[in-house]
Homo-oligomer: A and B are copies of this chain.
Amino acid sequence: MKPWQWPEDRWRNCVNRVRAGKRLTPPWPEGKRCAVALSFDVDHETNELRDGGKSIGRLSWGQYGNRRGMPRIMSLLQKYDIKASFFVPAVAANLYPDEQRAVTGEGHEIGIHGWIHELNSLLPPENERDLMMRSADMLEMITGARPVGLRTPSWDLSESTLSIAREMGLLYDSSLMADDSCYELLENLERTGVVEIPVEWIRDDAPYFMMSRIGPEDVLAIFMREFEQAYQEGEMFQLTFHPHIIGYRSRIWILEELIRAAKAKGDVWFATHRQVAEHASTAL
């Protein structure tokens, strides 16, 4: 049956599988006006491995994330004393356990990002559940920190992802786009208590530097507009970076400029995704 032939319950069910519920915007802690939540998807070689790992060039590109991208990012976060969230495929953490131990050791958050950056929607449901649980275990085994949040690889949820997250007792997901601020996820219109920290292609480095090519100044200008308006609205400014994309000499300064501009406001709350989700969940 073609979608234009569907009876109403068919498209309603589609829409209602996972949907945005209540917006969660309690006043920010300590009288702060705006939250800034930085995240880094540490894919490294898994981007290429998940597609079969044939390209030696792309694997080397992934390694760049570890050798040059991560050190530049970590150094900036230290310089400005900011805690951020790192979403890491289990295989990437396994390839670079010291890197991830340093991440958690310096007070950053580590979150689930698949086993080998696989697409959830292509997995048989029983395997998806297994991989998500093993991924969480692996990250904990390596870093000692138990993940409480999920960013699906390629922001791709299957029909089972949310219910697996609930079974695992996860606090939040950060893969969907129905709002600028946190909201409660509904599953088949039922409240879940799971917080969504929404992402957006607009606030991601990949669309500008991989899928298309625009100048870094233009990218900063877009991010700055997103931030300024979030600040005006007193809500949240969430960003997604990748060490193998933002971590280059000609791009890393974008991150520093953003941090500086936000710091200059004086009343911005830099927080990990976990902190944001915990705070947002007080409004559930």
Residues in A lying within 8 Å of B, measured CB to CB: 2-4, 6, 8, 11-12, 14-15, 17-20, 23, 45, 49-57, 59-61, 63-64, 67-68, 91, 94-95, 115-116, 118, 121, 123, 127, 131, 155-159, 161, 175-180, 198, 200, 202, 207-208, 211-218, 221-223, 225-226, 228-230, 233, 248-250, 253
Contact = CB atoms under 8 A, between A and B. Distances in A.
A229 B215 contact: no
Nearest to A6: B116
A218 B213 CA distance: 10
B250 A60 contact: no
Contacts of A253: 225
Nearest to A155: B57
B213 A225 contact: no
B91 A11 contact: yes
Number of identical protomers: 4
A179 B64 CA distance: 5
A223 B248 CA distance: 12
A61 B2 CA distance: 22
Contacts of A57: 155-157, 175-177
A11 B54 CA distance: 11
B3 A51 contact: yes
B121 A15 contact: no
A196 to B, nearest CB: 8
A68 B23 CA distance: 11
Contacts of A229: 249-250
22 contacts: A3-B53, A4-B115, A4-B131, A11-B91, A14-B59, A15-B45, A15-B59, A15-B63, A17-B59, A55-B121, A60-B176, A63-B178, A64-B179, A202-B250, A214-B215, A214-B218, A215-B222, A216-B225, A225-B249, A225-B250, A225-B253, A230-B249
Nearest to A65: B178
A3 B52 contact: yes
Nearest to A244: B177
Contact of A215 (B54, B221, B248): B221
B61 A177 contact: yes
A89 to B, nearest CB: 10
Given A15-B95, A20-B67, A214-B213, A226 B250 contact: yes
Contact of A176 (B3, B56, B175, B217): B56
